[in-house]
Homo-oligomer: A and B are copies of this chain.
Amino acid sequence: MTRFAHSVSALRSSEIRDLMSLATSPNIISFSGGMPGNELFPLDMIDNVYQSLTEKEKQIAMQYGPTNGLPILLESLSGYLEKKGLPIKKNRLMITTGSLQAINILAKAFVDPGDNILVETPSFIGALSAFRSYEANLISVPLKGNGIDIEQLKLKLETTHPKPKFLYFAPNFHNPAGIIYSEEVKLQMIELLTDKDIPLIEDDVYSDLYFYEEDVPKMKNIKTIDPEGIDVCFTGSFSKILGPGLRLGWMLVPEHIYQKCELIKQSIDACSPSFSQVIADKFIRSGYIYEYTDNVRLEYKKRGLAMIEALEKHLPNYVSFEKPRGGFYIWLHLPQGTDSTLILKKAIEKGVVFVTGKTFDPDGVKNDYMRVSFCNTDVDVINKGIPIVADAIREVCG
Interfacial residues, chain A to chain B (CB-CB below 8 A): 1-5, 9-10, 13, 17, 35-36, 38-39, 41, 43, 46, 50, 55, 58-65, 67, 97-98, 100-101, 104, 108-113, 126, 129-130, 132-133, 239, 242-247, 259-260, 263-264, 266-276, 279
Contacts and interface: CB of A to CB of B under 8 A. Distances in A.
B38 A63 contact: yes
Given A38-B59, A38-B63, A264-B133, A245 B269 contact: no
A247 B266 contact: no
A279 B93 CA distance: 28
A58 B43 contact: yes
A63 B50 contact: no
23 contacts: A2-B108, A2-B110, A4-B264, A5-B260, A9-B263, A13-B263, A38-B62, A41-B62, A43-B55, A46-B58, A62-B242, A62-B245, A97-B97, A97-B247, A97-B273, A101-B269, A104-B268, A113-B113, A132-B267, A133-B264, A133-B267, A247-B274, A269-B269
B97 A245 contact: no
The 5 closest A-B pairs by CB, nearest first: A245-B274, A62-B243, A129-B267, A41-B62, A38-B59
Contacts of A101: 268-269
Contacts of A112: 2-3
A108 B4 contact: yes
Majority secondary structure, A binding face: helix
A110 B2 CA distance: 5
Nearest to A3: B112
A247 B269 contact: yes
Given A5-B260, A43-B62, A113-B113, 6 more contacts: A35-B64, A38-B62, A41-B63, A104-B267, A133-B264, A275-B275
A261 B270 CA distance: 19
Contacts of A5: 109, 260, 263-264
Contacts of A38: 59-60, 62-63
A270 B98 contact: yes
A19 to B, nearest CB: 13
Contacts of A111: 2
Contacts of A113: 113
B43 A244 contact: no
Contacts of A268: 100-101, 104, 130, 268
Nearest to A10: B263
B100 A64 contact: no
A287 to B, nearest CB: 19
A267 B63 contact: no
Given A1-B110, A58-B41, A97-B269, A63 B245 contact: yes
A65 B245 contact: yes
A63 B40 CA distance: 10
Contacts of A1: 109-110, 260
Contact of A50 (B50, B55, B65, B246): B50
A318 B133 CA distance: 50
A3 B264 CA distance: 12
A130 B267 contact: yes
Contacts of A272: 247
